[in-house]
Structure 1
Amino acid sequence: MAMNQPNLQKEKASSLSNPDLLPVQREDRTWKTQNFASMWMGVINNIPTYATIGGLVVLGFSPWQVIAIVLTASLILYGALALNGHAGSKYGIPFPVLIRTSYGTLGANVPAVLRGIVAIMWLGIQAYAGSAAFNIAFTLLWPGWANLGGDWTILGIGLPGLLSFLIFWSLHFLVLKRGMESLKKFQAFTGPLVYIVLIGLLWWAIDAGGGLSAIFSQTGKYETFGTAFFPFISAVAGIIGIWSTLILNIPDFTRFARSQKDQIKGQLYGLPVTFTIFTFVTVTATAATTVVFGKPVGDIIILLQQFDRPVIIAIAALMLAAATITVNVIANLVSPAYDLANLFPKWITFQRGFYITMFAALFTFPWKLMENADTIFTLLNLIGGALGPIAGVMIADYYIIRKRQLNMNDIYSLKGEYTYFKGYNYRAFAATAFAAGIALIGAFVPSLKGLYDISWFLGVVLSFFVYIGLMRLHPPVSVQEQKDQLKEVTNTEIEKVN
């Protein structure tokens, strides 16, 4: 199969491609091991991740149990990311182009748009969360900041909060002003920077908590294997669910990898290793708050407010906010920019998709969304639950059906191997719908809640096998032709031997 950039006709170039969707040329693939490692350092080291891990301590898991949960989840995540990132590194294509092989040249827009909607919603919510750190830093450095505008509000937010949000939101433009190359440089700066905050936090925690032995001798409410097993599995699934969207669009990043080894090693160093270190610090700090304050404090912003050194707190908050920008760009901005470009390639480039995504997130008015946080998060979790089956279909198609060999010309063709029926592969949609239905039914049927707690695992496994079964029971014409050709070649070889 051809691995170089396909020679596209004008009609194909206008309907299925633009320069941002074509394979990245070898000379432009510059991301090294350290770039992927620093990418994950930026993704992991941020305010929402701290709150998630700290929340596990608050829920009653012991420090060692939390570390085991995160290590297990990060290893599973790493495996899925390395698998799904292979095609991006090998062929230089982004996520919405890759899924054309399984969902069809036109059908690929459906999962891409679904991923994009989730990303835009989270982009706004994460930007609002990060702006809270800005607001605290500005207030500490300039006490009059909190009184700006008096009682004036717009859509339920005061002037200090609105200005903090707009400043934080606007900084995202600087990160991608020159595309992915700008992101590579920004994350190389912010990723290691956050470790300064973590080292300081760890120092305080060990001193205030009476030493590591005292902190890690704390027990949780799950003291036996039997009582801890199902909560442990649910917690692992929950951690994976947070980052499962990146499993889908990891080709958006690995397409820039200098080599397959760079993306595999870089993600290993950046995810399981970094996540475990970050968890160790977070758990230590959260457990120490139990000693200091009498109850665990799982929110780093609330924890920072307990100290009496405004300048240090402000600097730490600004550093954490900068890291939150990194994770927002990587997890919630790059993907919808490519997804929009794939939806309307004739009119939307990656850069234009980036601007549209940014303004779409702005007009979600996230501070209003957070007034009904339970409803919004339930909706996002339900949509996110459907993304697990998409990952299962992608992995099954690339490794089992295609054997890692893609027809690059047909990926950009309206009349090729991946056209299926009028551009849609019903097998992929049927497998996704079936797996998502089973995985998410527990959200509506209380007696089946256990299925919902492991919805990502269930969705991936079910869609993986259902898709393979449908492709073999009713193979597309192109797949059947390949099998017939292989059979014909094999018979010819046998006849020559005889």
Structure 2
Amino acid sequence: MKKNESEIGESSLINHDLAPTTEEQRTWKTANFVSMWMGALNNIPTYITIGGLIVLGFSPLQVIGIVLVASLILYAALTLNGHTGSKFGIPFPIIARTSYGIRGANIPALLRGFVAIMWLGIQAYAGSTALRMAIASLWPAWNNLGGDITILGIDLPGLLSFLIFWSLHLLVLKSGMESLKKVQKWTGPIVAVVIIGMFIWALKIAGGMGNIFSLDGKYDTFGKAFFPFLAAVTGVIGYWSTLILNVPDFTRFARSQKDQIKGQLIGLPVIFTIFAFATVTIVGATAVAYHTPIADPIATMKHFNSPFLIAVSALLLSSATVTVNVIANMVSPSYDLANLFPKYIDFKRGFYLTAFLALFTFPWEIMENSETIFTMLNLIGGFLGPVAGVMIAYYFIINKREVNMKDLYSYQGQYMYFKGYNYRAFLATVVGAIIALIGQFVPAMKGVYEVSWFVGVILAFFIYIALMRIHPPVPVTKQELIVEEPL
């Protein structure tokens, strides 16, 4: 049974944003989850990630296969972890208390928040490059502002474009999750129009789809392609690994479990694969027409003949980047920061703090090439995969899809474990992450590193279950309770 804030009682562990959602707040239907994924998938960084696979030597058909496999795995992970949010109406950092402990939950929440803030900066910079090109197409002098002056490693037009684009994010959540639901209804379809236009243009410059899909990749046999294929799947999953953890932040507003399951089915495997097909067609066409694949849509748009068309396309494409940034990289850190200091930080304050911290990620240094991006994706997957494995193991295996709602907000309940921390969850997470990432530093283990997300999830899942069985937590009635709450 769901409990609202008044039923749970007063505690320093709760505020109005961390309390379970009420029936009145549960307004997200299937179409809203589809719209969420349309806005999240149709954007510049996703395009670059998919296009980067062509640059790395995969054929167009292989890239579509990579995205299809990755999206099916993502769908399974997202719906499993989203089940708790939909059933009990609670966000990710509160759910993490069940497996990591009342105080221990802050550690995976902050880890997830840090990664999301990094991605927020990366996505904001990617969107700002589109904004810069749109402005320069109509006002060429924009690119010459400041001359040779560079600030923090970026020229003045680039920095100004980044700051302007960053400021747009502050408008999307001004009224909370309801305003996001309204915005995402139009950003996804608008970008779909741009992608369709680029798709038609691609067919024209390449002389038809046959020329594009006849392109060969360097992995021309099953033996050559198998491990690179798995590594690429891991990279795509790593891109969305943050959202796997915090999908309850959205499913807690679902009208029913069916709405989130059905909405994500349409929104992920279906729309993601369609987007991948359009993207590889466009990137493949640039390989045919210009003898080298262009993975960056901004660079591709420079080949359009009309400055006005370039400006409009770039502006529309960048608009969706704001939406995906808010969905994937601003909502969760806002809740994570609120969970750290519930008395002082609510969702809105966490949102503004998240935006402020993203200014100091210096994303232009990160996004220099596709190889750097994929290295970062694998690192992210290696760290966050074990957290997902632990949470899924606790909810589905250990506690059989039940949660003690009152104890989630109490220093005197079953989720205190030992002084607020469950060592079993942390040991499973650390072991899973170390083994998943060891290949980054030990050449002989490179193959493990290339599938880091899978290794981390599976190891943490089984290690956590084993530790909970071998050394189960002491029942709350027998342990010494810590009743003093922090000031």
Pair in the same fold by TM > 0.5? yes
- The one-letter amino acid paired with 1:362 is L
Could you list the runs of 5+ residues in structure 2 that have no partner in the other structure? 479-487
Corresponding residue number in structure 1 for 2:8: 8
Q: Report deviation, 1:365.
A: 3.6
Describe the SS at the equivalent of 2:102. coil
- Give the direction of change, closer, same or farther, for the CA distance of 1:72–1:130 in structure 2 (3 Å limit): same
Residue 298 (structure 2) pairs with residue 301 (structure 1)? yes
Q: Which residue of 1 aligns with 2:319?
A: 322
Q: Please name the residue that 2:482 is paired with.
A: none
Q: Which residue of 1 aligns with 2:147?
A: 150
- Shift >6 Å, 4+ stretches: 371-377
Aligned equivalents of 2:73 and 2:376: distance in 1? 25
CA distance in 2 between partners of 1:89 and 1:127 (Å)? 30
Query: Which of 186, 189, 195 is equivalent to 1:189?
Result: 186
> What does residue 462 of structure 1 align with?
459
Contact preservation (8 Å) 1:118, 1:384: no
* Residue 87 of structure 1: aligned partner: 84
Instruction: Tell me what 1:222 maps to.
Output: 219
CA contact 1:386–1:436 (8 Å) conserved in 2: yes
Decide whether aligned partners of structure 1 residues 219 and 133 sit closer, same or farther in structure 2, where only a CA change above 3 A counts.
Answer: same
Aligned to 1:233: 230
- How many residues align structurally? 477
The alpha-carbon distance between structure 1 residues 378 and 164, as it changes in their structure 2 partners (threshold 3 A), is: same
Q: Does 1:28 align with 2:5?
A: no
| TM-superposition CA deviations, 1:297-349 (whole Å, max 9, x none) | 11111111122211111111111111111111111111110000000000000
CA shift at 1:294, angstroms?
A: 1.1
Q: In the aligned structure 2, how far is the partner of 1:371 from the partner of 1:297?
A: 14
* Residues 413, 476 of structure 2: 8 Å contact kept: no
Q: TM-score, normalised by structure 1?
A: 0.92
Q: How many percent identity over aligned positions?
A: 68
Structure 1: gaps spanning 5 or more residues? 482-498
2:338 aligned with 1:331, yes or no? no
Report which of the two structures shows the higher radius of gyration computed on alpha carbons: 1
AA in 1 matched with 2:3: N
Cα deviation, 1:369-415, whole Å, max 9, x if unaligned, reads: 66899889856753542110000000000000111011100011111
In the alignment, is residue 242 of structure 1 matched against residue 239 of structure 2? yes
SS at match of 1:22: coil
C-alpha separation in 2, matches of 1:239 and 1:354: 26
**TM-score, normalising length from structure 2?**
0.94
Q: Distance in 2 between matches of 1:479 and 1:321?
A: 51
Aligned residue type for 2:8:
L
8 Å CA contact 1:94, 1:255 repeated in 2: yes
Alignment of 1:317-466 (within 5 A): 317-367=314-364, 381-466=378-463
Query: Cα–Cα, structure 1 residues 466 and 5, in superposed 2: closer, same or farther, change >3 Å?
Result: same
Q: Which amino acid is the alignment partner of residue 320 of structure 1?
A: L
Q: What corresponds to 1:114 in structure 2? A: 111
Do the aligned partners of 2:378 and 2:452 also contact (CA within 8 Å) in 1?
no
Structure 2 CA distance for partners of 1:469 and 1:263, relative to 1, 3 Å: same
Aligned-partner Cα distance in 1 for 2:149–2:402: 60
How far is 1:122 from its partner?
1.5
Match of 1:265 among 259, 262, 265: 262
Deviates more, 1:217-226 or 1:196-205: 217-226
Of the candidates 31, 35, 39, which is equivalent to residue 38 of structure 1?
A: 35
1:290 equivalent in structure 2: 287
With over 3 angstroms needed to count, the CA separation of the structure-2 counterparts of 1:374 and 1:77, relative to structure 1, is closer
Q: For the residues of structure 2 that align with 1:131 and 1:82, how far apart are their CA atoms? A: 32
More moved, 336-345 vs 470-479 = 470-479
Whether the aligned pair in 1 keeps the contact of 2:378 and 2:449 (CA below 8 Å) is no
Deviation at 1:23, TM superposition (A): 0.3
8 Å CA contact 2:52–2:370 kept in 1: the answer is: no
For 1:418, give the aligned amino acid: Y
Cα distance in 1 for partners of 2:373, 2:283 equals 27
CA distance in 1, matches of 2:106, 2:450: 28
CA distance change for structure 1 residues 276 and 479 in 2, over 3 Å: closer, same or farther? farther
**RMSD, matched Cα:** 1.9
Q: 1:162: how far off?
A: 1.9
* Deviation of the 1:9 alpha carbon: 3.5
Deviation track 1:110-157 (CA, whole Å, cap 9, x = no partner) reads 000011111112211221121011111000011122222334433233
What amino acid is the match of 2:259?
D
What residue number does 1:73 align with? Answer: 70
- 1:494 aligns with none
Deviations 1:237-292 (A, max 9, x none): 11111101110000000001111111111111111111111111111111111111
Q: Is the 8 A contact 2:237 2:381 kept in 1?
A: no
Whether the aligned pair in 2 keeps the contact of 1:286 and 1:297 (CA below 8 Å) is: yes
Letter in 1 for 2:261: I
Asked whether the equivalents of residues 155 and 368 of structure 1 are also in contact (C-alpha less than 8 Å), the reply is no
In 2: Cα distance, 1:29 partner to 1:250 partner: 15
1:382 & 1:233 partners in 2: Cα distance?
Answer: 15
Using the alignment, how far apart are the partners of 2:234 and 2:374 within structure 1? 16
Shift of 1:221: 1.5
Deviation at 1:181, TM superposition (A): 0.7
Counterpart-to-counterpart distance in 2, 1:31 and 1:447: 48
Q: Is the 8 A contact 2:84 2:90 kept in 1?
A: yes
